């Protein structure tokens, strides 16, 4: 995303403010306010869509957080491999020490006796049978010692290999530590940048009105998109009659309705917008569920709505859930009532994490409050 350097400085300003004395905190807050004012100026001069700017911020943040999570997962795997290598090295060391404690005295005794010692044992045999027996036993002893020596060499080799793996994984882990910190810092900086962007849009009347106009245009495009969806073929959507569920539908997410259907007056700027659905205030990552059986006809990004899932319930009824953090369904999938559709997020949201929910009847928005169970 191409942004003003002011936005990139916001995270640093926040860090500078943390733990400082009151005067330093005041200066940092003044600097942050000045940064936001310059961001407003930058956005006012920016050609193109503010929703596009927000979408770019969302995409950058999603990519950065995905990269940070991937690095952290890789870090965890490397830590697991390091621990396995340490255990393997320790086990090989224990085996090697056990073999050495048994083998060293035996080899020392053989070295002291030398070749003459074996011959003396054989020559002193009182009979041929005893000679054969002694020769057999000496061969067994020699074979056992050689096997122990080979096992000791194998254990030493395993210990050396485990040591090299341990050192390699330790170096990898150290590199991943640095990378994980850098990736997480990048994600934090991008989130701060997005917060500054949203603050500028919310606090500047011109940007607020300009964004409202863009959102109204996106609402029209969404209505056109839904109208263009092919009508459900008989039997293609499993349902028990959506119209009969009026006033009985379960809520799509746990949380209060923060903004209802219809006209909404912004208390700061006294501007009026029209809500085609409701805003459900729910925590980031909370489950979002289908309110009735149907077929998913859209699961993807839609400008102004972020990650959007549309479910066709048949008979011309559709439900929409928007601004999702993640989607757990795909286009064409049949879902039952209560089936997971995704999680609450803030993609393309100007209001932080929340769920936007709509019901459409033959393309026309209807008040979800009259359909949802108390």
Q: How far apart are the first and last CA of the chain?
A: 43
Model confidence at 40, pLDDT cuts 50, 70, 90, reads low
| Per-residue pLDDT, 13 | 43
Average pLDDT, the chain: 80
pLDDT digits (tens, 9 = 90+) for 328-359: 999 999 999 999 999 999 898 888 899 999 99
**CA–CA dist 266, 322 (Å, integer):** 21
All domains in the chain, ordered by first residue: 1-203 (1.10.287), 233-370 (2.70.70.10)
Model confidence at 15, pLDDT cuts 50, 70, 90, reads very low
Q: Residues of the chain with pLDDT > 70: what percent?
A: 81
Indicate the range of 88-92, 198-202, 219-223 predicted with least confidence. 198-202
pLDDT digits (tens, 9 = 90+) for 177-215: 887 777 777 777 777 777 777 777 777 777 777 777 788
pLDDT digits (tens, 9 = 90+) for 92-139: 888 888 878 887 777 777 776 666 666 776 667 788 877 778 778 777
- Average pLDDT in the 60-72 region? 80
User: Does residue 10 contact residue 192 with C-beta atoms inside 8 Å?
Assistant: yes
| Per-residue pLDDT, 151 | 81
Indicate the range of 78-82, 245-249, 280-284, 362-366 predicted with least confidence. 78-82
| Per-residue pLDDT, 317 | 93
Model confidence at 48, pLDDT cuts 50, 70, 90, reads low
| Per-residue pLDDT, 104 | 79
Higher per-residue pLDDT: 19 or 115:
115
- Average pLDDT in the 154-183 region? 82
């Amino acid at each position: 995303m191409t942004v003003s350097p002011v936005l990139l400085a916001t995270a640093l300003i926040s860090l500078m403010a943390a733990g400082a004395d009151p005067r330093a905190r005041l200066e940092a807050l003044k600097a942050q306010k000045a940064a936001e004012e310059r961001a407003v100026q930058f956005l006012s001069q920016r050609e193109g869509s503010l929703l596009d700017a927000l979408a770019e911020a969302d995409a950058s943040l999603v990519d950065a957080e995905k990269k940070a999570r991937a690095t952290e997962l890789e870090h965890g795997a490397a830590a697991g491999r390091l621990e396995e290598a340490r255990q393997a090295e320790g086990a090989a060391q224990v085996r090697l020490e056990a073999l050495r404690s048994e083998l060293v005295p035996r080899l020392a005794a053989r070295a002291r006796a030398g070749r003459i010692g074996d011959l003396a044992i054989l020559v002193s045999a009182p009979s041929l049978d005893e000679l054969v027996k002694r020769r057999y036993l000496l061969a067994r002893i020699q074979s056992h010692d050689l096997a122990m020596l080979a096992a000791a060499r194998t254990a030493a080799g395993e210990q050396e290999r485990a040591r090299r793996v341990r050192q390699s994984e330790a170096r990898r882990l150290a590199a991943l530590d640095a990378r994980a910190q850098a990736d997480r810092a990048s994600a934090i900086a991008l989130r701060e940048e997005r917060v500054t962007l949203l603050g500028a849009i919310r606090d500047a009347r011109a940007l607020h009105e300009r964004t409202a106009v863009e959102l109204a245009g996106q609402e029209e495009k969404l209505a056109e998109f839904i109208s263009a969806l092919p009508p459900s073929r008989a039997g293609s959507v499993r349902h028990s009659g959506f119209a009969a569920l009026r006033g009985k539908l379960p809520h799509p997410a746990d949380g209060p309705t923060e903004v209802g259907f219809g006209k909404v007056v912004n208390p700061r700027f006294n501007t009026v917008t029209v809500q085609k659905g409701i805003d459900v205030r729910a925590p980031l990552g909370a489950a979002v569920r289908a309110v009735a059986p149907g077929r998913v006809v859209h699961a993807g990004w839609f400008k102004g709505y972020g990650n959007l899932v549309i479910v066709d319930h048949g008979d011309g009824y559709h439900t929409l859930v928007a601004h999702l953090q993640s989607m757990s369904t795909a286009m064409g999938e049949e879902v039952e009532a209560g089936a997971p559709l995704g999680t609450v997020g803030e993609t393309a949201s100007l209001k932080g994490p929340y769920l936007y929910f709509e019901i459409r009847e033959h393309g026309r928005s209807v008040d979800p409050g009259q359909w949802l169970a108390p």
